[in-house]
Amino acid sequence: MKHLFSLIATLWAFALPAFAQVEFWQNAWPDTNFENRSVKLDEILSGGPPKDGIPAVDAPNMIPVAKETRLGAREPVMTVKLPGQTPRAYPVRYLMFHEIVNDTIGSTPVAVTFCPLCNSGITFDRRIKGRTLDFGVTGKLRNSDMIMFDRQTETWWQQFEGRGIVGKMNNVKLKQLVSWMESWADFKARNPDGLVMDQPDARRPYGTNPYVNYDSGTPFLYQGEMPPHGIKPLERVVVVGKRAWPLSRFQKTNEITEKGLRIIWKSGTASALDRRKIAKARDVGAIRVYDEKTGKDVLHDVSFAFAFHAFYPDGEWMLE
């Protein structure tokens, strides 16, 4: 807890309104047009690290499932399975410290992203308007969610929405790709011939959680409204479009069929944001979402409730 409070204090020390920082930011972002924006600048806060202070991983080394020996069975991984391609697992123990992985699967350039403060793990196609973008971490937050940037145009992108918010590609949307979070054991059992991201060549305490007890506390650097209906801000919710299903609904059942969807919860996946050692954290389970009629995977995310409410204040809460 001492580490947590120290981290909070450090973050708040850098949490100055963006309008007071624009001139300073322009020095680091000379190619970003701050006049071309779709959000209020005072909604953007500095999370502490500078541009690329949280280093994205480019072209990660992938190894066969059978050769991976570091991961605990319950550790979460982000699974990406593109048509005709070998399924890939991106361990959250690495995403925790890098937040973005720029990879290419077959002929598809992808960005696998994870924002610890919102628990949002989303994968995007990096191609837009005939260009392939490479993404990095700005070190800035809006609604406690990571703001990414692309190295080609230095546009700032909101990770939760996959939308450009400042710069040349303001209001342009990235294409989201189906991905989901599950345990390493489940991925390995289903994909014995799959691939997994190898440990990056960086000095980081991989396998640990720098935000100890975060998912049972309060959101970092969040100044917006809290969720309605008595839902705790850090309760996990299944987000499909502008609808959210609180995970508390799965206390009575492991399957919900609503709005043309089959949402299935399975136990056995550790929280990445609970205990210091991720492999020993409490079980929060994993979610899969399918089209009720076709059985195909449906785009979704499992994020914290406050983030859904911040970005979709008029969104629909799927309560019992």
Digit-coded pLDDT (tens) for 59-107: 999 999 999 999 999 999 999 999 999 999 999 999 999 999 999 999 9
> Does 90 share its domain with 26?
yes
Judging by DSSP bridges, how do beta strands 76-80 and 286-291 pair with one another?
unpaired
**Would you state the pLDDT for residue 19?**
54
Judging by DSSP bridges, how do beta strands 44-46 and 131-132 pair with one another?
unpaired
206 inside domain: no
In degrees and rounded to multiples of 5, residue 22 shows phi and psi of -55, -45
Q: How far apart are CA 16 and CA 119, in angstroms?
A: 23
pTM: 0.94
> Does 224 share its domain with 191?
no
Q: How far apart are CA 188 and CA 154, in angstroms?
A: 37
> Does 191 share its domain with 218?
no
Q: Domain end: 195, 224, 252, which one?
A: 195
203 inside domain: no
Domain of 124, in residue numbers: 2-195
> Does 221 share its domain with 271?
yes
**Cα 193 versus chain centre, distance:** 26
> Does 132 share its domain with 225?
no
Q: How far apart are CA 306 and CA 143, in angstroms?
A: 9
291 inside domain: yes
204 inside domain: no
> Does 182 share its domain with 240?
no
**Would you state the pLDDT for residue 1?**
43
Longest dimension (CA), the chain: 54
> Does 152 share its domain with 27?
yes
269 inside domain: yes
313 inside domain: yes
Q: What residues have CB less than 8 Å from 269, skipping those under 6 apart?
A: 74, 76, 181, 182, 183, 186, 283, 284, 285, 286
**Would you state the pLDDT for residue 24?**
82
**Would you state the pLDDT for residue 320?**
82
Burial status of residue 307 (CB atoms within 10 A of its CB: 0-12, 13-18, 19 or more): buried
Which tokens is 271 given? 């929280």
99 inside domain: yes
Contact 182, 81 (CB under 8 A): no
Q: How far apart are CA 174 and CA 315, in angstroms?
A: 21
Judging by DSSP bridges, how do beta strands 120-125 and 76-80 pair with one another?
unpaired
> Does 309 share its domain with 251?
yes
228 inside domain: yes
> Does 59 share its domain with 152?
yes
> Does 169 share its domain with 245?
no
> Does 94 share its domain with 234?
no
- pLDDT means per 10 residues, the chain with 320 residues, are 44 49 86 96 92 97 98 98 98 98 98 98 96 97 98 98 98 98 98 98 97 95 95 98 98 97 98 98 98 98 98 96
Q: Domain end: 147, 166, 195, which one?
A: 195
Burial status of residue 127 (CB atoms within 10 A of its CB: 0-12, 13-18, 19 or more): middle
> Does 17 share its domain with 163?
yes
Which tokens is 273 given? 């944001």
**What letter would DSSP give residue 208?**
B
CB count in 10 Å sphere of residue 226: 15
Number of domains in the chain: 2
Q: How far apart are CA 103 and CA 126, in angstroms?
A: 9
